[in-house]
Chain A
């Protein structure tokens, strides 16, 4: 649910990073934060536990530039991936314009990935959204680790529709901006259809 303000000439869009616990959602936002010019970003807010696990959400506002005289802002959110924070995840999906699903590439996390993807679909459906119709990008994160599943297998399990997917190493950066750019683009294209 984007917010278009003709008075201040701004468009605000909400992008949510979803995925199982420890897959690297927060790390994605931290990398984007580190690599963005100070004048293009607000504070990175993290509501986290003492052990740095996301408790409610992370939030990063980005102002990337103008389109047709409108300032385009993206509000990036992450959900808490741990299973027992289910209620919070639902709240954060409210009003979402685009979703990034961050999958953990380690073989032993495949089941957690699939569970999280199911959880995402259910939570979206509860709010009347259909993942197949929403701007949506998949990221296979932690490609630097030795025990990763082949992309082909992950695609079969997590991306049957073959939508855009990106291999990433969120700690060092490869794939992070490619992912964001892709989902942002889809969000803007969607906006164009509606307005």
Chain B
């Protein structure tokens, strides 16, 4: 397995959540969420109850992956912003750093200009937080903190129980 598993800690999760809540309020969006490039939902804010965020996360990552593939064919590094306009709802997708995707879904109560502006601001903050997480996770690995991990003691029985 590659050594780059994403690990999320309580403290940083709180900070991320704060940033997303702020973005949600400032942009007047319907929903904002963060997905990792492999399609796993990291955090969300807003009216998430009537949206299937798991599916949305996976499809967004697929979308970014496909456009990333197109970019490389064209000799571009990556398209960092995607925007889809619908009749009522619009979706703004942007890459943060190299591995996180920020998604903002908004309607006429907001505007593309506002979303763009706020996304740019929050991107910087989020980049810092994710860098911290990466550093922390490296540190914990090298300090051998992994001994305390809940997974060290997974038994065959635990695993079998999942499939009852």
Chain A interface (Cβ < 8 Å from any Cβ of B):
1-8, 11-12, 14, 42-43, 45, 47, 56-57, 59, 61, 64-65, 67-70, 72, 75, 87-88, 90-92, 94-95, 97, 128-129, 133-134, 177, 181, 184-185, 188-192, 194-195
Q: Is the CB of A4 within 8 A of B6?
A: yes
Contacts of B143 in A (CB 8 A): none
B159 at the interface (CB under 8 A from A): yes
Q: In chain A, what residue has the closest Cβ to B36?
A: A3
Task: Say which residue of A56, A70, A97 sits within 8 Å of B150 (CB atoms).
Answer: A70
B117 at the interface (CB under 8 A from A): no
Q: In chain B, what residue has the closest Cβ to A43?
A: B55
User: A67–B3 Cα gap in the complex (Å)?
Assistant: 22
A6 to chain B, nearest CB (A): 5
Q: Is the CB of B65 within 8 A of A69?
A: no
Q: Give the tally of cross-chain contacts (CB within 8 A).
A: 133
User: A10–B54 Cα gap in the complex (Å)?
Assistant: 14
B97 at the interface (CB under 8 A from A): no
Q: Is the CB of A5 within 8 A of B163?
A: no
Interface of A is mostly: mixed
Contacts of A1 in B (CB 8 A): 1-2, 4-6, 38
A74 to chain B, nearest CB (A): 9
Q: Is the CB of A14 within 8 A of B152?
A: no
Q: Is the CB of B6 within 8 A of A56?
A: no
How many residues of chain B get a CB closer than 8 Å to chain A's CBs?
41
B39 to chain A, nearest CB (A): 7
Contacts of B154 in A (CB 8 A): 67-68, 188-189, 191-192
Chain B interface (Cβ < 8 Å from any Cβ of A):
1-10, 13-14, 36-40, 42, 52, 54-55, 58-59, 62, 65-66, 68-69, 146, 149-154, 158-159, 161-164
Q: Which 3 A-B pairs have the closest CB atoms?
A: A95-B38, A7-B13, A91-B65
B73 to chain A, nearest CB (A): 8
Which of B8, B52, B58 has the most C-beta atoms of chain A within 10 angstroms of its own C-beta? B58
Q: Is the CB of B163 within 8 A of A177?
A: yes
Q: In chain B, what residue has the closest Cβ to A178?
A: B163
List 17 other contacts, CB 8 Å, given A64-B162, A68-B151: A6-B7, A45-B59, A59-B39, A64-B163, A67-B151, A68-B150, A68-B153, A68-B154, A70-B150, A90-B69, A184-B163, A185-B159, A189-B154, A189-B159, A194-B3, A194-B146, A195-B5
Q: Is the CB of B2 within 8 A of A6?
A: no
A65 to chain B, nearest CB (A): 5
5 A-B pairs with CB atoms under 8 Å apart are A3-B36, A6-B9, A45-B55, A68-B153, A134-B1
Q: In chain B, what residue has the closest Cβ to A129?
A: B2
Q: In chain A, what residue has the closest Cβ to B72?
A: A87
Contacts of B39 in A (CB 8 A): 14, 59, 75
Contacts of A42 in B (CB 8 A): 52, 54-55
Contacts of A188 in B (CB 8 A): 151, 154, 159
Contacts of A56 in B (CB 8 A): 62, 66
Contacts of A14 in B (CB 8 A): 38-40
Q: Is the CB of B54 within 8 A of A7?
A: no
Task: Say which residue of A8, A65, A75, A191 sits within 8 Å of B151 (CB atoms).
Answer: A191
Q: Is the CB of B6 within 8 A of A195?
A: no
